[in-house]
């Protein structure tokens, strides 16, 4: 009887491009790595063209790097004749054809793919192994264990725990540097009038062939792309260049202006490293370590609140959102606390609105597949919440339009932080505002068709009446929230005629939402 030599097939997903993973420490002739471009991933949402290209380009670059290191690689391209367009079917065919005796994969970050691969291996007739991606600071269930028995899940508590556990920005045993854990109050300045932010560092990758393959497959996408000058990093080397650029040129200003917004300034001082990190070209630890090293290496060049604000976004929010995701899925994906049912306005897909803030944020998103966190939270997200848009519509838009949007980080930020559809699991209050906040943090209102100062009447800013309409409509669910009780005191003191005018104006705008 012939005995087959052990042969292992290792599956690498498009967001598992971690060249420092222990898998790759040695070359083993009995191991084959498999990457694939499949329709199940391009079609589960309507993605931005730059997002699809970014994933495919990075995957192809990663496969070449593995081959350069003498690893054996099978790469299935989108339009290959032997592509069954699903992970399980392709794996099944390759295992059978090549007589593999073992199958291995890394834990997926998405619940959807986790279930898909669990179902696949449950029926496998060969041995299989599941391992960690070796990327995050925390494991899937760490947040769940940390908050065990608690009714609330405060990010700040988890952030401090992570800082202590991983010895980040501490002095002594458990004392934070500069005596405070959080310098968020120093991170909220508007850009000065004559201040011109540094131009973003952009790559010029030629991805014409990938774009043609996507067109040939007739994949439905949104947004635009310059196929000869693809601006996003598609390799670890490029991601490292972008990291170095951020630390040297942007980090000295990042914390101060991280909440600021300005017309046609789509990048400001943000790192734009989220795509590289989410597909694992960069690890959160090396990003944080490099930033901290720069802070201590050049005293005075980077102020501490700039550094802490950046560190908090990664070891705080990023790890926290992932923990909430694995703690609350799959039920989290159907939460709708306010029972919102409205459809997303058509101009969310075109940017053709007279509201200057939304026009800028949406056009930017369509052109670059990117918007920073305050644009997402306080412009597009703010409007969607005030307008009562169904969270499913909001999720689909955010998941599709942004290059860094993978469900584990997208849905907790949109359905949770942005839309408060989880009823307060992630955020302690709904993040809504009138035109006042938008004007405070940006210069969008200047030259807008609508008047930021007007609450009702012709050309009154829609945010103003929709803001009060939101609070009036949801008083039964929000009045007892200690963080927004003051707004209900203001509402109750308004004259009845003023209230009626605001609600009437809001109703008009909601009924004519596609004309705004």
- Average pLDDT, integer, range 412-438: 93
Q: What are phi and psi of 105, to 5 degrees?
A: -150, 160
Please provide the DSSP assignment of 469-504 as one string. Answer: HHHHHTHHHHTT-TTTHHHHHHHHHS-HHHHHHHHH
> In the prediction, which pLDDT does 1 show?
36
Q: What are phi and psi of 349, to 5 degrees?
A: -95, -10
Q: What's the rounded Cα separation, in Å, for the pair 211 and 152?
A: 45
Would you say residue 504 has pLDDT above 60?
yes
Q: Is the peptide bond prior to 513 cis by the omega test (within 30 degrees of 0)?
A: no
CA distances from 245 to 49, 93, 252, 309, 502 (A): 25, 44, 11, 18, 47
Residues 6+ apart with CB under 8 A from 188: 259, 441
Would you say residue 41 has pLDDT above 90?
yes
Q: Which of 341, 381, 335, 337 is nearest to 477 (CA)?
A: 337
> In the prediction, which pLDDT does 4 show?
64
Task: Work out the burial of residue 491: count CB atoms within 10 Å of its CB; fewer than 13 is exposed, 13-18 middle, 19 or more buried.
Answer: middle
* 3-state SS assignment for residue 56: helix
* 3-state SS assignment for residue 451: strand
Residues 6+ apart with CB under 8 A from 108: 13, 114, 116, 117
- CA angle in degrees (0–180, nearest 5) for 319-324-328: 155
> In the prediction, which pLDDT does 307 show?
92
Residues 6+ apart with CB under 8 A from 293: none
Mean pLDDT, all residues of the chain: 93
CATH topology of domain 346-515: DNA Cyclobutane Dipyrimidine Photolyase, subunit A; domain 3 (1.10.579)
- Average pLDDT, integer, range 409-423: 95
CATH code assigned to 8-131: 3.40.50.620
Q: What's the rounded Cα separation, in Å, for the pair 235 and 12?
A: 15
What count of other Cβ atoms lies within 10 Å of the Cβ of residue 153?
A: 19
Residues 6+ apart with CB under 8 A from 134: 18, 20, 21, 22
Please provide the DSSP assignment of 146-184 as one string. Answer: HTTT-S---HHHHHHHHHHHTT-SEETTTEEGGG-S--G
What count of other Cβ atoms lies within 10 Å of the Cβ of residue 480?
A: 10
- Average pLDDT, integer, range 92-104: 95
Would you say residue 193 has pLDDT above 90?
no
- Average pLDDT, integer, range 296-320: 91
Based on C-alpha coordinates, what's the Rg of the chain? 24
CA distances from 244 to 65, 247, 286 (A): 21, 5, 11
- Beta strands 102-106 and 8-11 are parallel
Residue ranges of the domains in the chain? 8-131, 142-201+236-328, 346-515
- pLDDT tens digits for range 105-163: 999 999 999 999 999 999 999 999 999 999 999 999 999 999 999 989 999 999 999 99
What count of other Cβ atoms lies within 10 Å of the Cβ of residue 151?
A: 5
- pLDDT tens digits for range 372-395: 989 999 999 999 999 999 999 999
* 3-state SS assignment for residue 323: helix
- Average pLDDT, integer, range 461-488: 92
> In the prediction, which pLDDT does 385 show?
97
> In the prediction, which pLDDT does 115 show?
97
User: What percent of the chain clears pLDDT 90, i.e. is strictly above it?
Assistant: 83
Residues 6+ apart with CB under 8 A from 306: 251, 252, 253, 254, 255, 256
CATH topology of domain 142-201+236-328: 1.25.40
Please provide the DSSP assignment of 379-431 as one string. Answer: IIHHHHHHTTB-HHHHHHHHHHH-TT--HHHHHIIIIIIIT-TTSSSS-SS--
């Amino acid at each position: 009887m012939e005995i087959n030599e052990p042969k292992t097939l290792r599956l690498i997903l498009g967001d598992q491009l971690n060249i420092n993973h222990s898998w790759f420490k040695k070359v083993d002739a009995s191991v084959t790595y498999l990457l694939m471009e499949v329709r199940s991933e391009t079609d589960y949402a309507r993605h931005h063209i730059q997002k699809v290209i970014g994933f495919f380009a990075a995957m192809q670059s990663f496969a070449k790097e593995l081959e350069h290191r003498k690893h054996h690689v099978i790469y299935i391209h989108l339009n290959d004749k032997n592509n069954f367009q699903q992970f399980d079917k392709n794996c099944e065919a390759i295992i059978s054809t090549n007589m593999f005796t073992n199958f291995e994969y890394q834990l997926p970050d998405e619940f959807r793919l986790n279930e898909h691969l669990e179902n696949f291996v449950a029926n496998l007739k060969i041995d299989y192994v599941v391992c960690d991606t070796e990327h995050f600071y925390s494991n899937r269930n760490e947040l769940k264990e940390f908050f065990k028995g608690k009714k609330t899940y405060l990010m700040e508590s988890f952030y401090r725990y992570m800082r202590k556990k991983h010895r980040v920005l501490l002095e002594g045993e458990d004392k934070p540097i500069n005596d405070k854990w959080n310098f968020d109050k120093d991170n909220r300045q508007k850009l000065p009038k004559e201040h011109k932010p540094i131009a973003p560092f952009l790559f010029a990758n030629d991805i014409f062939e990938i774009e043609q393959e996507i067109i040939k497959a007739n994949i439905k996408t949104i947004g635009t792309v310059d196929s000869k000058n693809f601006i996003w990093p598609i390799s670890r080397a490029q991601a490292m260049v972008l990291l170095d650029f951020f630390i040297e040129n942007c980090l000295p200003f990042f914390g101060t202006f991280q909440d600021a917004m300005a017309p046609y300034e789509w990048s400001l001082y943000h790192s734009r490293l989220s795509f590289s990190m989410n597909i694992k070209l960069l690890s959160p630890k090396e990003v944080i370590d490099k930033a901290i090293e720069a802070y201590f290496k050049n005293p005075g060049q980077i102020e501490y609140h700039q550094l802490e604000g950046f560190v908090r976004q990664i070891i705080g929010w990023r790890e926290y959102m992932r923990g909430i995701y694995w703690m609350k899925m799959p039920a989290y994906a159907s939460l709708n606390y306010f029972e919102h049912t409205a459809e997303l306005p058509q101009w969310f897909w075109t940017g053709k609105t007279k509201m200057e803030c939304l026009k800028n944020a949406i056009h930017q998103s369509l052109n670059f597949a990117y918007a920073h966190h305050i644009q997402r939270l306080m412009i597009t997200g703010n409007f969607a919440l005030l307008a009562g848009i169904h969270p499913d519509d909001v999720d689909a838009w955010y998941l599709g339009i942004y290059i860094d949007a993978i469900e584990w980080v997208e849905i907790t930020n949109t359905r949770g932080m942005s839309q408060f559809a989880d009823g307060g699991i992630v955020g302690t209050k709904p993040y809504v505002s009138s035109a006042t906040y938008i004007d405070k943090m940006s210069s969008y209102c200047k030259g807008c068709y609508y008047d930021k100062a007007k609450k009702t009447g012709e050309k009154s800013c829609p945010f103003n009446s929709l803001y009060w309409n939101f609070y009036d409509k949801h008083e039964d669910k929000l009045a007892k929230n200690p963080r927004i009780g003051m707004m209900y005191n203001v509402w109750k003191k308004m004259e009845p005629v003023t209230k009626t005018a605001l609600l009437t104006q809001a109703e008009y705008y909601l009924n004519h939402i596609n004309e705004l």
